[in-house]
Amino acid sequence: MILNYEKIFNSVDLQKLKNKQVLITGANGLIGGFLAEFFKYLNDEHSYNMSLILTSLSKKPKRLEKVLHSKVDNYRYISADLSKDVLNFDDHIDYCFYCAGYAQPSKFMSRPNETISLNTSGVNNIFSKVFNDNPNARCVFLSSSEVYSANKTQDSHKETDLISIDIENKRNFYILGKLGGESIVNNFRTKGFDAMSARVSLCYGPGILQDDARVMSEFVKKGLTQEYIQLFDEGMASRRYLHIEDFTIMLLNTTLFGKNGLYNISGEEENSIYKLACIVGERLNKDVKKGKSGNLVSSTAPKIVWNSVGRYNSEFSKLNFKPLWEGVMEFIDWYMDEFNH
């Protein structure tokens, strides 16, 4: 896998994680799976002696094969549907990363009730269990930059900005679920518990599953299997993409040393969907063709979502983010090797 674990290790003081027990939900996804693999790296290469409890919906979590097939017994996996199941474990958790949720628009738009429940009931159940067993634990909920999507301004959105909701948008179940999860986190904080929310922009990098249907994966699939890369619309929607390595640095800094209960975790480089498609097309030698009208997913997607990372930069060293073109090139190389193209 084309990933630089040493970059993360050298960018964050991770001593607090030594000999700790960590719970990761959504561990079969891009973010949860990467965290599990990085913590395994800390054990293997730096003797951190961390224990991991990993959970996701999958019965056979392909994303976690390297972790779960390890020779050490520090890692345990539990299959559960956190939208309706209450996870039972007797372990004393020191850090909890709640990464469970539907990140692909096609999934969260077709499963509105589960989307709401995963981000509200699931968060409340897990955090309650963790804090009941260890009142000094640190629990982190992964929210989304999409909560800003109905705000009309094109300025970078700050954590203190008021949030607007377009009640007729079919993506609202996702946004309301994330805001509901943040409210639950705030409730724990008012009771004196150490909880935090992170509004994450579009995170990408090696580690996605083959059936991933998010935009970058779809462009690579089209570039590898079709004559050209066809967009649903003109591709003018603008995003700030964030490579998984940079994401992990920001997440672990805020988890271990953050002074606030809410952080934007985002890149700072604005790029349109069309530009992203062109980067993929250049690497795979395929033309990009714009569409005229979007399908349900693209037509309901926000046009501009830019997060401000001013709060993060005020507390931590400003990151030298991996440029999108470099990250995409690495992702394509990994994708072709991983899925035998």
* Average pLDDT across the chain, whole number: 91
The residue that leads in pLDDT, 174 or 35, is 35
Q: Given a cut of 60, is residue 297 above it in pLDDT?
A: no
Q: What is the pLDDT of residue 294?
A: 55
Q: What is the pLDDT of residue 88?
A: 82
pLDDT at 25: 97
Contact call for residues 106 and 295 (beta carbons, < 8 A): no
Query: Which pLDDT does position 271 carry in this prediction?
Result: 92
pLDDT exceeds 80 at position 299: no
The whole-number pLDDT of residue 3 equals: 85
Q: What local confidence, expressed as pLDDT, does residue 133 receive?
A: 95
Contacts for 39 with CB less than 8 Å, ≥ 6 apart: 17, 22, 48, 50, 52
Which two tokens mark 289?
Answer: 């063709």
How far is Cα 6 from Cα 308, in angstroms, rounded to an integer? Answer: 27
Residue 105: pLDDT band with limits 50, 70, 90: confident
Determine the pLDDT at residue 293.
63
152-158: long-range pairs with CB below 8 Å, 24+: 154/304, 154/306, 155/306, 156/306, 156/307, 156/308, 156/310, 157/264, 157/305, 157/306, 157/307, 157/308, 158/264, 158/308, 158/310, 158/311
Phi-psi region of 340 (alpha: psi -120 to 50; beta: other; left: phi over 0): left
Whole-angstrom Cα distance, residue 24 to residue 21? 10
Write out the two tokens for 123: 């968060």
Q: Examine the pLDDT at 157 and tell me if it is beyond 80.
A: yes
Residue 300's pLDDT is what?
55
The pLDDT of residue 154: 62
Segment 135-141 shows an average pLDDT of 98
Is residue 1 predicted with pLDDT exceeding 70? no
- Interhelix angle 215-225/324-338, rounded to 10 degrees, is 60
Highest mean pLDDT pick, 56-60, 106-110, 188-192, 295-299:
188-192
Residues 6+ apart with CB under 8 A from 90: 133
Mean pLDDT of 30-36: 96
* pLDDT on residue 111: 81
Q: Output 115 or 51, whichever has higher pLDDT.
A: 51
The torsion angles phi and psi of 272, rounded to 5 degrees, stand at -80, 160
- pTM (2 d.p.): 0.94
Options 3.40.50.720, 3.30.210.10, 3.30.70.2860, 1.10.10.10; CATH for 5-204+243-266+307-320 is 3.40.50.720
Per-residue pLDDT band for 233 (boundaries 50, 70, 90) equals confident
Q: How many CB atoms lie within 10 A of CB 203?
A: 25
**What average pLDDT score do residues 13-29 get?**
97
pLDDT value at residue 153: 63
- CA–CA gap between residue 98 and residue 218 (Å, rounded): 26
Q: Can you tell me the mean pLDDT for 317-339?
A: 94
If we measure between CA atoms, which residue out of 269, 244, 267 comes closest to residue 38? 244
